[in-house]
Amino acid sequence: MDEYMLPCLNKKYLGFECMGCGIQRSVALLLKGEFVEAFIMYPAIYPLIGLLGFLVVNQFRTIKYANFIIPALSILTVGAVIVNYALKFFN
């Protein structure tokens, strides 16, 4: 599976990682059952999965506080992506 992963064009041509660097490898690690390694690779993977899962469920079932939960999960996910990027960029 690793030989089919797309390279990060930002890292290849500009020399620094993008905000999504590591997400493909993190998903591959999740599919292998390596949950801790997936988190270490891309810490925003779990909030992202939670947000996507909630959005899918919300399409099929009416959830009472969806108007509050979706923005909260979105903010959590974006915050995790930004913190992850900042930690990678400044280290």
Residue ranges per domain, the chain?
2-90
- Predicted TM-score of the model (pTM): 0.80
Cβ neighbours of 80 (radius 10 Å)? 17
pLDDT attached to residue 54: 96
pLDDT in tens, 10-52: 778 887 778 888 889 999 999 999 999 999 989 999 999 999 9
Among residues 32, 57, 69, 29, which one has the least CA distance to residue 45? 29
With cut-offs at 50, 70 and 90, classify the pLDDT of residue 78. Answer: very high
